[in-house]
Amino acid sequence: LLLFPTGSSTAQTVTQTQPQMSVQEADTVTLDCTFDTSDSNYYLFWYKQPPSGEMVLIIRQEAYKQENATNDRFSVNFQRADKSFSLRISDSRLEDAAMYFCALRE
């Protein structure tokens, strides 16, 4: 039996280094994410997972877009050259309490 992969495989990494954070309501919070990929066409995402457990997509950034994505109180600072993708939460609220995940898709 011979198996031949049909797609190419490229290495990618996503890193979040911040531990648990305590925040006051109405504060502005920045969550940092760095990534590495050899692909030039990719998408970056921020998700949150509240205590109820479901994963909720907050925001998406396309690698080829110059302007940073925004969604209500959520915005990103995407630095393609530095391979960084930070999430900014303005006017934080109680319902923002969650685990936050940065993700990359090629």
Lowest-confidence segment of 9-13, 47-51, 60-64, 84-88 by average pLDDT? 9-13
**3.40.50.300, 2.60.40.10, 3.40.50.720, 3.90.480.20: which CATH number matches 13-105?**
2.60.40.10
Q: Provide the whole-model pTM.
A: 0.86
Domain ranges of the chain: 13-105
105 bridge partner residues: 43
**Over residues 37-60, mean pLDDT:** 95
**Are 57 and 47 spatial neighbours (Cβ–Cβ below 8 Å)?**
yes
52 closest CA partner among 105, 15, 103, 99: 99
Q: State the pLDDT confidence band at 9, using cuts at 50, 70 and 90.
A: low
3-class SS letters over 44-106: EEEEEECCCCCCEEEEEEECCCCCCCEECCEEEEEECCCCEEEEEECCCCHHHCCEEEEEEEC
Share of the chain above pLDDT 90, in %: 80
Asked whether the predicted pLDDT for residue 70 surpasses 60, the reply is yes
Asked whether the predicted pLDDT for residue 16 surpasses 70, the reply is yes
Asked whether the predicted pLDDT for residue 10 surpasses 80, the reply is no
- Burial state string for 42-57 with b = 16 or more CB within 10 A and e = fewer than 16: bebbbbbeeeeeeeee
90 closest CA partner among 20, 27, 23, 48: 27
Is the pLDDT higher at 48 or at 6? 48
Average pLDDT, the chain: 90
